[in-house]
Amino acid sequence: MRTPAPAHVAPPDPGKKRRRITRISLASAIAVALGGSGVYIAGASADEVTVPGRVQAESYAANSGAQTEGTGDKDGGKNVGWLTSGDWMRYDNVSVTGAAWTARVASNNSEGGSIEIRQGTQTGTLLATFPVASTKGWQTWTTVNAKAASVPSGKQTLFAVLKSKSRSDFVNINWFTFGPAGAASSGPSASPSTTKATPAPSASSSSAPGGWVPVDQAAWQKELDYFNSVALKPVPSNAVRVAEFQTNCEVSGYADDDPIVFPKMAGASHNHTFFGPKVDANTTNEQLLSGKSTTCDAPGDFSAYWAPTLTQNGKVVPMESFRVYYGSRLPDPSDMKPFPPGLRIVQGDAKLQEPTPAGKNGQFWCTGGEIGRSADGNWPKCGGGHLIYQLTFKDCWDGKHIDSPDHKSHMGNAVNGKCQGDFPVAVPNLSFMLNYDTLGGDGLKLSSGMASSIHGDFMNAWDPEKLSDLVKICLTQKAKCGTTPTF
């Protein structure tokens, strides 16, 4: 158990750098470390105080960019933070009981901004706008007011949409009221509950975003039983002793969808390039397994892979190739296990918008060598070959969840060469090799923004036996295979 994190200190240039540490001012808050992910969930030791008529900010049904933390506000519980311009939260089954609305906010960003409340969708009818100004502290709270333009009747879906000139996160939100205090402003989804260090698991892999999704223990045990029964094959003396196998996939489509981050919300995402099966906002792991159709060439791989679409001068850059390496970065991969059924992972940060000059980490690079940089310095110019990016995922699993609120926190990094602590299960290390049919240079842009926003998504839909064969025969023996468990 880690000691409580210090109160957040705002970065010297809030316009260029997002916050990377948890903001906690409660002396009794407990920070639960999520491995090497750089993300922390803070849990207050005291229960949240229930106040009728309040919609707790963390009770969203879906969100883009939000994270929760223990709050220093007087009612305890949690607040939502890490909110930048363009982020949003969706609240379902809300009853609007009057035109006088309030929001409880804190900010340590001098540029401030606003919170728009929109009806139905994140671009729907604007009902009210809350002003946000600096309160000179991320846990220095004030109540701001707004007057609703109308009072719609019946249960509503409301979106809180964040707006600011700042490129950094600019506000914490603890709660809203959508009418007189003491009135019933929301349905069951907004009811507060006792704050815990770890959110309660959802019921199934198809659950709405914002929660922890537990692994199906029966399916996981069945896969492990088969994995343990797989007989090892002798590794020939001329085999390359690198823990690796691969799958090669063609583009299966392009869409403004993301079934991990925005499930059942068609068009809510920036554009993605999909590989493997046909995918849309409604796709689930179960559907992938039952579809038996894919553009990937490894037998048994019906998984879905995707990344933001790359354009050059406004036109989509075609893919030269897309390969996923399954490997291990561990010195001893002998205790590695296959992915659990239904695992979902996001790697990278779609909201990271920082310059990537030559020499900075996270570079796109050229297979034929770099001969210069784009005018903005963020993209290489290739002397030959193609522009390429290698995206490496985390390979230690918590052994309990197939998804988490940020789609990352159930995965971690090895410590001293081993998967241990909160992430004790070694699983294959995914590495996306995105090979683009361009020589780089000027005019390049990801659908998510700058080069720094590159990220990738994975929905596991491997045939469990095919995956187990590859992991057991190739990876645990530290031997290089292709798309099948042969050397």
Of the CA atoms within 13 Å of residue 154, those in its CB half-sphere come to 3
Dihedral sign (CA 277, 283, 288, 290):
negative
pLDDT at 68: 84
**Looking at the domain assignment, is residue 235 inside a domain?**
yes
pLDDT at 378 over 50: yes
- The 10 Å Cβ neighbour count of residue 39 is 18
pLDDT at 3: 35
**Looking at the domain assignment, is residue 198 inside a domain?**
no
Query: For 57, phi and psi rounded to 5 degrees?
Result: -60, -30
Of 247, 448, 421, nearest to 346 by C-alpha is 448
Torsion angle defined by CA atoms of residues 463, 467, 469 and 471, in that order, rounded to the nearest 10 degrees: -170
Number of domain units in the chain: 2
Q: Do 84 and 227 fall within a single domain?
A: no
Q: Which of 133, 156, 190 finishes a domain?
A: 190
Q: Do 328 and 443 fall within a single domain?
A: yes
Q: How many helices (H) and strands (E) does the chain have?
A: 3, 33
pLDDT at 11: 34
Q: For residue range 444-486, what is the model confidence (pLDDT) as tens digits? A: 999 999 999 999 999 999 999 999 999 999 999 999 999 999 9
24 versus 397: which is more confidently predicted? 397
pLDDT at 18: 38
- The 10 Å Cβ neighbour count of residue 142 is 12
Q: What is the mean pLDDT of residues 273-299?
A: 94
pLDDT at 387: 97
Q: Do 247 and 381 fall within a single domain?
A: yes
Q: What is the mean pLDDT of residues 403-425?
A: 95
Across 149-163, 168-182, 374-388, least confident range = 168-182
**Looking at the domain assignment, is residue 392 inside a domain?**
yes
> What distance in Å separates the CA atoms of residue 19 and residue 286, rounded to the nearest whole number?
36
104 versus 198: which is more confidently predicted? 104
Task: Judge contact between 52 and 184, C-beta under 8 A.
Answer: yes
Q: Do 327 and 249 fall within a single domain?
A: yes
Q: Do 169 and 266 fall within a single domain?
A: no
Q: Do 158 and 270 fall within a single domain?
A: no
**Looking at the domain assignment, is residue 7 inside a domain?**
no
pLDDT at 185 over 60: no
Can you give the CATH number for the domain in which 60 is found? 2.60.120.260
**Looking at the domain assignment, is residue 271 inside a domain?**
yes
pLDDT at 51: 80
Q: What is the mean pLDDT of residues 263-281?
A: 94
> What distance in Å separates the CA atoms of residue 454 and residue 452, rounded to the nearest whole number?
6
Q: For residue range 87-143, what is the model confidence (pLDDT) as tens digits? A: 999 999 999 999 999 999 999 999 999 999 999 998 899 999 999 999 999 999 999
Q: What value does the mean pLDDT of the chain take?
A: 85
Q: Do 229 and 85 fall within a single domain?
A: no
**Looking at the domain assignment, is residue 482 inside a domain?**
no
Using only the alpha carbons of the chain, give its radius of gyration.
23
pLDDT at 5 over 80: no
Collapsed DSSP state (helix, strand, coil) of residue 346? strand
pLDDT at 207: 38
Which structural domain range is residue 174 located in?
A: 30-190
**Looking at the domain assignment, is residue 279 inside a domain?**
yes
Q: What is the mean pLDDT of residues 272-288?
A: 96
**Looking at the domain assignment, is residue 206 inside a domain?**
no
Percent of the chain's residues with pLDDT above 90 = 72
Q: Do 60 and 165 fall within a single domain?
A: yes
Q: Do 133 and 252 fall within a single domain?
A: no
pLDDT at 265 over 70: yes
Q: What is the mean pLDDT of residues 285-300?
A: 92
pLDDT at 63: 83
pLDDT band with cut points at 50, 70 and 90 for residue 182: low
Q: Do 178 and 238 fall within a single domain?
A: no
Q: For residue range 37-79, what is the model confidence (pLDDT) as tens digits? A: 222 222 232 356 678 889 999 999 888 888 888 888 988 888 9
